[in-house]
């Protein structure tokens, strides 16, 4: 999940107040510990169109790796 803050001061206050961690309670009662941190300002989401479905993720990762770190495909 991403939350976009308009003011950096507000973001810092929230991160400080929760010490960078929180808990998520699943519907079944299970609790997951969640790390909360500021995402890199240079993070971009890229959408590919008209790419054949049989193209392996490995090929996409290789093609885009010259632009920076690939977080998820």
Report whether 61 contacts 70 (CB < 8 A). yes
Q: What is the mean pLDDT of residues 1-30?
A: 84
Q: Running DSSP on this structure, what letter comes out for residue 38?
A: P
**Domain limits of the chain?**
8-67
Q: Which of 4, 69, 15 is nearest to 42 (CA)?
A: 69
Between 59 and 2, name the one with better pLDDT: 59
Using only the alpha carbons of the chain, give its radius of gyration.
17
Q: What are phi and psi of 11, to 5 degrees?
A: -60, -50
Tens of pLDDT, residue by residue over 44-67, are 778 888 888 899 999 999 988 887
């Amino acid at each position: 999940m991403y939350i976009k803050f308009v003011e950096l001061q507000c973001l810092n206050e929230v991160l400080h107040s929760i010490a960078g961690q929180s808990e998520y309670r699943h519907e079944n009662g299970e609790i997951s510990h969640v790390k909360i941190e500021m995402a890199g300002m240079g993070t971009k989401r890229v959408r590919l169109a008209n790419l054949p479905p049989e193209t392996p993720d490995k090929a996409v990762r290789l093609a885009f790796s010259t632009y920076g770190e690939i977080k998820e495909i």
